[in-house]
Chain A
């Protein structure tokens, strides 16, 4: 048996299986231990779901979640609206769009300390507002390319036909352009929302002492050595994550279905 057929028959499959084991062993153990009866973190003490009950009753977790959702909603709204306006009205400023991708290529810690240093220069109170400002910036970097690439894909004939047939620019925007941009706006909104919910670095530097978001809560618990309740929380987040991926996959398939060919 030569190298090639051996590799394609067994080697590659074994490598991929090993890789997925590497990817999933920590997660599976994490999920299993969320059903642990015993309060000691690593000792199995029988099956129970009482950590989930405790999780849903924890005021601290709910508060952190509420803060996170609040910040994420604002940041999503601001960054998606601004990128729509930018893409639509700034079509002759197109060559400056790469300016928005700068925040994606530098390490996040630099972004965070930059913002912190800037806020402290003007003695801005750290809290919700500074978090929203930071997350909106992060969101712009993702929303602008998504919305602008969809806008470029739009058939120009549609706009021309609409104008030819006597619609005004305002009507064309609301009746033609905006409905066609909706898939891109939804995709951008989902992405920005998730990035804001997940963000730790900017929150760590710019949230101040009083505003706790979900990642900050998770960080503080992990720093303290973890807790079974955190396992339960992680499992819940994992379920939401998988639903989200399926949602994105479904949206993309719909997009291909509708606009493909």
Chain B
């Protein structure tokens, strides 16, 4: 009797229906709400009508430059954050996985610690660095480089820094996992065969860590695209991003139909962007 049949017997002995609650939960609370968003964006019901009919009106309302600006800005932010996290995080992951021997566990602990506190707290911590009388301004004023405090908080720069800060662990962890498993013999072989350090990195280590790069990229790209908290707190809600516009429709104007249409539209765009990036990345190293 193999493993599978033992387990199938188990499932039959007990009721198979015991597995149903989880499926029901995920369908009712996840898939049906997603379909509701799509349906709400496409259907409308005039007064007195019972069966809703199709309308492209809500999407047509979004066909304005300012909405595409919001999506474009979010895409740019998501892309910039992912690339920056990769550039900042790759050497760190490399060091943690291959160079830090005894210090590895303690460094991993310190890497995870900020990650264990709430995103809101992480964003709040930057108030003390970027604020008008924050660390940066005080340091610059003490050095006599500036006379008036710089306005860093509530600008796109603050949002960008905050995003990198909060999302860089998501990039480092998959990179670390891949780099740790990378066979040292490949690196040695590359040196033996006469490649210099740069070439070994570019032609051996980097291609072998591609799965980690791709995972990390999407772990950063997708949540940053829809991020609401950081633009709101560090950006002072001065510039709309996708997350803030969606919440504006759903919570403030309570225009659920247009909000749903915007959610679908930006969802489609982020998916297209993600697939396109994946395809480009694959082509680059194929």
Most chain B Cβ neighbours within 10 Å, of A106, A133, A194: A106
Determine whether B29 belongs to the interface, using a CB cutoff of 8 Å to chain A.
Answer: yes
Which of B19-27, B61-69, B140-148, B276-284 contacts its partner? B19-27
Residue B30 is within 8 A (CB to CB) of chain A in the complex: yes
Q: Is the CB of A42 within 8 A of B131?
A: yes
Kindly identify which residue among B30, B99, B128 contacts A29, using a CB–CB cutoff of 8 Å: B128
Within 8 Å of chain B (Cβ to Cβ): is A54? no
Judging by beta carbons under 8 Å apart, are A23 and B129 in contact? no
Specify the chain B residue showing the minimal Cβ separation from A177. B10
| List of B residues within 8 angstroms of A25 by Cβ | 129, 135
Q: Which of B26, B100, B119, B263 contacts A110 (CB 8 A)?
A: B263
Mask, B45-81, CB within 8 Å of A = 1, is 0000000000000000000000000000000000000
B269 at the interface (CB under 8 A from A): no
A108's partner among B1, B13, B95, B223 (CB-CB below 8 A) is B223
A8 touches B99 (CB 8 A): yes
Using known A-B contacts A222-B123, A238-B113, determine if residue A118 contacts B16 with beta carbons closer than 8 Å. Answer: no
Contacts of B267 in A (CB 8 A): 106, 110
Chain A residues near B242 (CB, 8 Å)? 109
Residues of chain B contacted by A173 (CB below 8 angstroms): 10, 14
Interface presence of B186 (CB below 8 A): no
In-complex Cβ contact of A198 among B11, B96, B118 (8 A) = B118
Q: B197, A218: Cβ atoms under 8 Å?
A: no
A156 touches B22 (CB 8 A): no
Question: Do B124 and A226 touch across chains, with their CB atoms under 8 A apart?
Answer: yes
A120 touches B21 (CB 8 A): no
Interface residues as binary, B85-126 with A (CB distance below 8 Å gives 1, 0 otherwise): 000100110111001100001010111111011111111111
Among B176-184, B206-214, B243-251, the one that faces the other chain is: B243-251
Bound-state CA distance A106–B242 (Å) is 13
**Residues of chain B with a CB closer than 8 A to A201's CB:** 228-229
Q: Are A102 and B30 in contact (CB under 8 A)?
A: yes
Q: If the complex has contacts A25-B135, A219-B120, are A107 and B222 also in contact, measured as CB distance less than 8 A?
A: yes
Complex: A204 Cα to B243 Cα, angstroms: 12
Please tell me which one of the listed residues A43, A111, A117, A198 contacts residue B250 in the complex, with CB atoms under 8 A apart: A117
A33 in the interface, Cβ–Cβ < 8 Å?
Answer: yes
Query: Mask for A217-234, Cβ within 8 A of B = 1, else 0?
Result: 011001100100010001
**Is the pair B256, A117 in contact by a Cβ cutoff of 8 Å?**
yes
> Across the interface, which residues of B come within 8 angstroms of A4, CB to CB?
196-198
Given contacts A106-B222, A113-B259, contact A244 B11 (CB under 8 A): no
Q: Is the CB of A89 within 8 A of B226?
A: no
Q: Which A residues from 5 to 23 make CB contacts under 8 A with B? A: 7-8, 12-13, 15-16, 19-20, 22-23
Could you tell me which A residues sit within 8 Å of B by CB distance? 2-4, 7-8, 12-13, 15-16, 19-20, 22-27, 29-30, 33, 41-43, 82-83, 85-86, 88-93, 96, 99-100, 102-103, 105-111, 113-118, 120-121, 133-134, 136-137, 140, 144, 156, 159-160, 163, 169-170, 172-173, 194, 198, 200-201, 204-205, 215, 218-219, 222-223, 226, 230, 234, 237-238, 241-242, 244-246, 249
The 5 closest A-B pairs by CB, nearest first: A107-B226, A4-B197, A90-B19, A241-B116, A114-B33
